[in-house]
Structure 1
Amino acid sequence: MVAIRILQSLATLDYGETEAMIMNLYRNIDRDQIQFDFVVNERTAPFFYEAEVKNLGGRIFTLPTFSGKNFVFYRKKVNQLFQEHPEWEIVHIHDASSTMLMIDLAKKHQLVTIAHAHFDRDFINFKTYVQKILRAPIKNNADYLFACSKLAGAYVFNVNKEEVRVIKNALEPEKYIFNENIRKRKRAELGLKNEMILGHLGRMEIEKNQLYLIDVFKAYHALNSKSILILIGEGELKEELQRKVSEYGLKKNVRFLGVDTDYYEWFQAMDVFLFPSLFEGVPLPLIEAQAAGLPIIASDRITKEVNISNLIHFKTIEAEPSQWAKMIDDLYLLFREDMSEKMIEAGFDAKDTAKELKDCYFSILKEGS
């Protein structure tokens, strides 16, 4: 049997929650039956997941970044892409703002279209207003509506929650089981032993609210001078965050670690995980932190659907940073529980979700035959 190739449409293949979730599913899906190809915005530097995608048998195609001014040229390139690849039967679109620019052309080439929502609120500004206009017809034009949660689907597509199929932001639970040897090794890489390590994982963008996180750490460091903050991720705000850390005189205490393929091992080194986002869908880092058995303080703007343990403590980001700081010592755990079974029971195991997605693709194709 020749594997069916599904086109996954994203803005990028660098690390991000959406990209990490898709890669978790890609590693675990039966690739003898289903193969993924990817279309992303073009650039010269390699993507974070590029080598892994190719090793798994996937192909990467690029399009110019849509700017509005290049509307005709962009659609010409999309049409050309579909024309050159009749082997695709389904296009699974994850970048909500560009979805409508693809759907009608995909249909023209007899592709089944899936629109997938990954967030449940957004900023209120001109750019997001335009994106909302672009998203408005999706509910009538896409063949299927998927989302990370019912709330995200209802928000992005402006439909009743029951009209959306939820595909959970799943992970590989076995990677997160607490391991004392990994903890010691990762701490040794930083030249640390018994310090209190606070951690955060996320793309460095405004919605992740890491500027507030630096303020929280400043307040906590005043209470515990043997504390360290590790930040895992890259993004456009990195330099601004580094400047703020420098202004506070905390360069030795805040470590910018970037992202590597074994980034999940850093959860072992942490003592408390902080996640003060302005908005999210069902954030994968909070699933990961729970899988690692970490106590968590998270923004109360995040959906409670993410809370699958007793480890998350929601706190308003309207509070003074000192209020977050005061919670930290109370959450420290001497023992880290193995949460893998709980992740599986809650439906966040990538093996199960990958099988669900595979079955879903086959069901869709059967309906259309």
Structure 2
Amino acid sequence: MKRVLQLTDTIEKRNGRMSVVMNVYRKINKENIQFDFLVTDYGHENYYDEITKLGGHVYFLSSRDLSLSKIKDKFLKVIHLRKYDFVHYHALSKWGECISYAKQHGIKVIVHSHATELSDNFVKSIRNRIFSLNILTCADERVAVSPEAGKKLFLWQNFEYIPNMIEYSKFTYNQNEGTLIRQKYGLKNNEKVIGIVGRISKQKNQIFALKVLTRLLQEKINVKLMIVGDYDRKEADYYRNVKKYINDNGLVNDVIFTGLINNLGKYYSAFDILWLPSLYEGMPTVGIEAQANGLPILASDMITKSMKIINNVVFLNTKNKESLWAEKTKDILSENRDLNAIKKINQSLFNTNVVVNKWEKLYEQ
């Protein structure tokens, strides 16, 4: 059996990287390949119980001890507990130090790029580029969730493009489930629902979405904005700015916050359109899930175009383009879902078996 130590930074369910890894972990042949995880201590809902049921181990280091020396000590202890064939690194963070030590101990290194930017902060981008320099010399295999994400991290080096995969059946459109969600939040039949799914953060650009919502309401368009997700302490200031914008612009009755939810497929079935106004993304899993639901999507043009599997995805610039987004949203709200979406996905690179096979081949080297 090949044993792989996954460096995902966290095992929280709200983390996009972890959802990608877990979707694959559930499907791979665990008689041949097994995952363990070395991460920072976690809060919120997480995958710990599921990982252990699948046969994996989770090792964590307290965020209070997240110095480079403590990371090195913890990593070396873990790789001496078990023989690892691969270290699979997913996050641009201090954990990247581990791949140098993996090479020193004869462990093969896979580096996985998940984003088209190194950070939404200039100083952090420089820091993360420094953290990633050893990738250029230590990676045995380079993988990216999109062509753009690969070029950003690996520069001139070759990489393999493996798109993200989801369990598509969980997101099949169900009108009855969508109706129940709408009733839960007191939404009227004649109200259109715009959905945003993801962490409340500068990267996800919810304040831009609120500005577009303001324009739609000024034009007497009968819409509500549903924001699915929460924020962590690093994004507390941004969350306060979101709430302030809502209060200052009289949107309290027009915006619904759901917090973290587990039955996301039902929410897609309640939406009439999904907005993805992110400043950058590698391959947003949310966009794939919504397409499996057949839901029309209006996305930032900073998101990889390779996300588009079916025809009801439109990309637009977000910089001072609130009026353009409002006009395009009105057009899209008159369109219908694509009820053949999953059939089209199964005929694409996003086919579950194709993606799982590509992951398994990574560990055959």
The question of a shared fold, defined as TM-score above 0.5 by the shorter chain, is answered with yes
Q: Which residue of structure 2 aligns with residue 367 of structure 1?
A: none
Q: Which residue of structure 2 aligns with residue 353 of structure 1?
A: 355
Change (3 A) 1:253 1:155: same
Matched, 1:166 2:158: no
Q: Which residue of structure 1 aligns with residue 173 of structure 2?
A: 178
For residues 19 and 224 of structure 1, what CA distance do their matches in structure 2 show? 40
Question: What SS does the aligned partner of 2:282 have?
Answer: coil
Q: Which residue of structure 2 aligns with residue 29 of structure 1?
A: 28
For residues 35 and 5 of structure 2, what CA distance do their matches in structure 1 show? 6
Q: Which residue of structure 2 aligns with residue 74 of structure 1?
A: 71
Contact 1:276–1:299 (8 Å) recurs in 2: yes
Matched, 1:327 2:328: yes
1:292-303 paired onto structure 2 within 5 Å: 292-303=293-304
Change (3 A) 1:184 1:339: same
Tell me the amino acid that sits aligned with residue 320 of structure 2.
A
Identity of aligned residues (%): 29
Question: What SS does the aligned partner of 1:96 have?
Answer: coil
For residues 165 and 141 of structure 1, what CA distance do their matches in structure 2 show? 16
1:60-99 paired onto structure 2 within 5 Å: 60-65=58-63, 70-86=67-83, 88-98=84-94
For residues 37 and 244 of structure 1, what CA distance do their matches in structure 2 show? 42
Unaligned ranges ≥5, structure 2: none
Question: What SS does the aligned partner of 1:28 have?
Answer: coil
What's the CA shift string for 1:198-223, capped at 9, x where partnerless?
A: 00112222111111111111222223
Contact 1:187–1:193 (8 Å) recurs in 2: yes
Contact 2:6–2:89 (8 Å) recurs in 1: yes
Matched, 1:134 2:136: no
For residues 51 and 174 of structure 1, what CA distance do their matches in structure 2 show? 23
Matched, 1:55 2:56: no
For residues 260 and 95 of structure 2, what CA distance do their matches in structure 1 show? 28
Displacement, 1:67?
Answer: 8.5
For residues 16 and 100 of structure 1, what CA distance do their matches in structure 2 show? 18
Tell me the amino acid that sits aligned with residue 176 of structure 1.
F
Contact 1:135–1:157 (8 Å) recurs in 2: no
Change (3 A) 1:67 1:152: farther
Contact 1:5–1:89 (8 Å) recurs in 2: yes
Tell me the amino acid that sits aligned with residue 142 of structure 1.
A
Contact 1:117–1:153 (8 Å) recurs in 2: yes
Contact 1:139–1:157 (8 Å) recurs in 2: yes
Change (3 A) 1:249 1:131: same
Q: Which residue of structure 1 aligns with residue 4 of structure 2?
A: 6
What's the CA shift string for 1:301-336, capped at 9, x where partnerless?
A: 222111222111111112342321122121122454
Contact 2:174–2:266 (8 Å) recurs in 1: no
Question: What SS does the aligned partner of 2:261 have?
Answer: coil
Question: What SS does the aligned partner of 1:337 have?
Answer: coil
Displacement, 1:164?
Answer: 0.1
For residues 114 and 178 of structure 1, what CA distance do their matches in structure 2 show? 36
Change (3 A) 1:32 1:208: same
Question: What SS does the aligned partner of 1:192 have?
Answer: coil
Q: Which residue of structure 1 aligns with residue 212 of structure 2?
A: 216
For residues 141 and 262 of structure 1, what CA distance do their matches in structure 2 show? 40
Question: What SS does the aligned partner of 2:93 have?
Answer: helix
Contact 1:171–1:349 (8 Å) recurs in 2: no
Matched, 1:20 2:7: no
Displacement, 1:30?
Answer: 2.2
For residues 130 and 50 of structure 1, what CA distance do their matches in structure 2 show? 30
Displacement, 1:341?
Answer: 1.5
Give every structure 1 segment of 4 or more consecutive aligned residues whose post-TM-superposition deviation is greater than 6 Å: none
What's the CA shift string for 1:286-309, capped at 9, x where partnerless?
A: 222222111111111222111222
Deviates more, 1:284-293 or 1:91-100: 91-100
